Amino acid sequence: MSVMPDDSPCPLETSREAPAEPPGFALTVVPPPDVIQTVAIRPGAPPPRVEPTAVQLVRGVRSRDRAALGRAISLIESSNPAHQSKARELMRLLAVSAPDASTSIRIGITGVPGAGKSTFIERLGCMLTSAGSRLAVLAVDPSSAISGGAILGDKTRMAKLASDPNAFIRPSPSSGTLGGVARTTRDSIAICEAAGFDVVLVETVGVGQSETAVADMTDLFLALMVPGAGDELQGIKRGLLELVDILIVNKCDGDNMQRAKLAARQHAGALRMLRGDGESALAPIVLTASALTGDGVADIWTSILARHSTMRSTGNLEARRRTQRVRWLDTAIDDRLHAMLRASSAAQLALENARARVLAGTLAPSDAADTVLNTLIETICTQRPQDSHSLP
């Protein structure tokens, strides 16, 4: 290697009249040997973000890293095809390395607007975490009409629980999904259980859409009602009564106490008439509570534990989860087919043409669906093997 004399011009210096750098920029360049070189960077700019691999996320989730847990759930919620592929790898790895989830308790909770779901969850959650339990709350929020994301109302209403180190609250956008349950809620439950949370609570947007969605992914289904709601909600109540395990009449305090107890008796009678399983150990029960004062909340948790224990000892819990896994499969297939349809330009073009003809009345919707699906099938069959990974 030759060394330049001291009076030799710098080989990087091309002109003394080089244009000035924009204000706020500093020049720093990677130098050749013995020469300092500069490039333009913005002062204080953060380093480029490096996305963690699926393996790194799994390690973070298993080590109970809250940041990794949040990133893992964000990954499975993403509609980006590249993210979906990585999310499937993540779930495969978790399925191999996840701990036994048979001891966890999955609870679904719903209720009419204003029933006090968030207040009840915070009261119950703080009681559980103070006793040493780890609680994950998947609060399925309404979707923003502008960004499509969760409005985050539930998290702001549970500020005390959100700051608890033994609790994890994750608002997720419902994205218009029936029942107010996000498309990826089942995966989120599995991720939370892999992170060591022994209680996972799924809060829905509300009632009246399709409560079966949350009942099909949890062990126990709770419904919060309020006294004096009126007969206009009877249709919604009937749908709840067909699915509910524990019905809670909330706001049983102060001047409302007698009305709450009356409402509890009415609901208990309706359950006996509708379900007819009053003698069964797993018959639905009706309890009263006040999330505001905390009265009755401990009794509700005792009832949850007793019911869950009975389900486990009778084999009902395992049977219920096996059935849920099959429904999870059916849902995953539907999601993949829709994703493949969106990813195929040929199928999208066929869909646009089919919609136009259906609108014009020249093609029946059933025939239009056949046309679109046939186009998608042809696209899949003609796709080159080396491109198969590009399918969602």
The partner residues of 27 in beta bridges, in order of sequence, read: 40
For residue 56 the two structure tokens come to 């790194």
Please report, in angstroms and rounded to a whole number, the separation of the first and last CA atoms in the chain: 53
Same domain, 269 and 167: yes
Picking from 323, 346, 370, the residue at the C-terminal end of a domain is 323
Is 279 among the domain residues? Answer: yes
- The DSSP-derived string for 226-295 is -TT--GGGHHHHHHHHTT-SEEEE---SGGGHHHHHHHHHHHHHHHHHHH--TTSTT--EEEE--TTT-T
b/e burial code for range 100-121 (CB count within 10 A of at least 16 → b): ebeebbbbbbbbbeebbbbbbb
Phi, psi of 168 (to 5 degrees): -135, 120
In terms of domains, do 92 and 173 share one?
no
pLDDT at 297: 96
Same domain, 240 and 368: no
The pLDDT, as a whole number, for residue 289 is 96
- 148 lies in a domain? yes
Final residue before a domain boundary, out of 63, 81, 98: 98
Shared domain for 362 and 375, answered yes or no, is yes
Q: Please state the φ and ψ torsions of residue 200, each to the nearest 5 degrees.
A: -120, 120
Q: How do beta strands 26-29 and 37-41 pair?
A: antiparallel
Q: Is residue 25 part of a domain?
A: no
Q: Are 136 and 269 part of one and the same domain?
A: yes
DSSP 8-state secondary structure symbol assigned to residue 219: S
Q: What's the pLDDT score for residue 375?
A: 93
Structural domain includes residue 328: no
**Could you give the CA distance from residue 263 to residue 247 in angstroms, rounded to a whole number?**
11
The answer to whether residue 210 is domain-embedded is yes
Which distant-in-sequence residues (6+ apart) come within 8 Å of 315 by Cβ? none
Number of domains in the chain: 3
Residues 363 and 316 in one domain: no
Tell whether 302 and 231 lie within a shared domain: yes
pLDDT of residue 220: 95
Examine the fold and report which residue of 293, 323, 353 is the final residue of a domain before the chain moves on: 323
> What is the chain's pLDDT, residue by residue, as a tens digit (392 residues)?
444 444 444 444 444 444 454 444 444 444 444 444 444 556 666 666 778 899 999 999 999 999 999 999 999 888 787 888 899 999 999 888 766 666 789 999 988 778 888 899 999 999 999 999 999 999 876 544 444 444 444 556 788 999 999 999 998 765 545 444 556 888 999 999 999 999 999 988 665 555 677 888 899 999 998 887 654 445 456 677 788 999 999 999 998 899 999 989 888 888 888 777 666 778 899 999 999 999 999 999 999 999 999 999 999 999 999 999 898 888 888 888 888 898 889 999 999 999 999 999 999 999 999 999 999 999 888 875 544 444 55
Tokens linked to 352: 């646009």
Closest-CA residue to 351 (of 333, 337, 331): 337
Q: How far apart (Å, rounded) are the C-alpha atoms in residues 178 and 5?
A: 77
**158 and 65 fall within a common domain:** no
Classify residue 132: in a domain, yes or no: yes
Residue 46 lies in a domain: no
- Say if residue 149 is in the same domain as residue 230: yes
CATH code assigned at 268: 3.40.50.300
CA distances from 129 to 101, 121, 198, 209 (A): 19, 12, 11, 31
Is residue 350 in a domain? Answer: yes
Amino acid present at 187: D
| pLDDT on residue 279 | 64
Q: Which domain holds residue 348?
A: 338-385
Q: What is the pLDDT, as a whole number, of residue 320?
A: 93
Q: What is the CATH number of the domain that holds 89?
A: 1.20.5.170
Looking at residue 266, what is its pLDDT? 86
Tokens of 293: 């004062």
For 63, list phi and psi in degrees, rounded to 5: -90, 5
233 with 104, same domain: the answer is yes
Q: How many CB atoms lie within 10 A of CB 319?
A: 11
Tokens 């495969």 -> residue? 92
Same domain, 202 and 71: no
Whole-number pLDDT of residue 339: 82
Task: Please check whether residue 160 is in contact with residue 185, taking contact to mean a CB–CB distance below 8 angstroms.
Answer: no
Are 149 and 67 members of one domain? no
